[in-house]
Amino acid sequence: MAIFKGAGVAIVTPFHADGSVNYDKLDELITYHCDNGTDSIVICGTTGESATLTEQEHMDCIKFAIDRAKNRNPVIAGTGSNCTRTAIELSKEAAEAGADGLLLVTPYYNKSTQAGLIAHYKAVAAEVKTPIILYSVASRTGINIDPATVATLVKDVDNIVAVKEASGNISQVAKIMNLTDGKVDLYSGNDDQIVPLMSLGGIGVISVLSNIAPQQTHDICAKFFDGDIAGSRDMQLAALPLIDQLFCEVNPVPVKKAMNLLGMEVGPLRMPLIEMSEEHAKNLAKAMQAYGLKLA
């Protein structure tokens, strides 16, 4: 059984003005998503600025999300690292805390071989029973998970069950589904490709857009699953101008700005990320209004 089907939010980590984690606001956001169509909470991923969280903050956020979302939404914990030992420890702790799934990005900077990726993922998977989602995002990490590598891991390891595909390469996605005989849960890692990936057998998206449009992102998936392909496609296309603005600067800079423009008060970014340019902020606000979102 899939960890979730539909739209999972790659949730931001809200901060106070002094840069500390704002757990009261995180509680509000989790409730907001549980009440507004989001199908899963994905905590401490790229959008959650996991790279600048301490290991203690990282685990505290994961445990907090699991506690607050209990019996409402499944929680997927980002526990990847470029250090296999660290990924194992984070994954074990998240599994013990009750995470419904683990999201494991490829080891960044090290630039392992494909054989090294297989060894890395097998080493982590051997230490937990929790379902694992492979996360392929070469634009961030400098290394792609080749389709043959995905197929090997899915076939050899029982608890490696899914892939978040953010390569942007539809041909690669098709090859993954071919080599796995479709026996992998495929999630889009790009909000502008939700429908294309579902047409190849995908079961949803791990979404940045969901932070500000949870019901709409859910509905793109739900309409597709209900057989309303045209309706799903039209919603996907209508969201493209806003999605473009959400990625006009590196994620999560624009989405945090968008949330603050909506009055959600998620606070600042952690350096080295800084506030987006004034010109980009104006374009983002216009796209949000054109999409029907009401600014504060």
Q: Is 135 a catalytic residue?
A: yes
Q: Which of 135, 187, 256, 291 is catalytic?
A: 135
Give the amino acid at 71.
Answer: N
**How does 83-115 read in b/e, with b if 16+ C-beta sit within 10 Å?**
ebeebbbbbbbbbebebbbbbbbbbbeeebeee
Long-range contacts of 144-151 (CB under 8 A, 24+ apart): 144/106, 144/172, 145/106, 145/114, 145/117, 146/114, 147/172, 147/175, 147/176, 147/178, 147/179, 148/114, 148/179, 149/114, 149/117, 149/118, 150/176, 150/179, 150/180, 150/184, 151/176, 151/179, 151/180
Q: Which of 63, 164, 256, 257 is catalytic?
A: 164
Active site residues: 135, 164
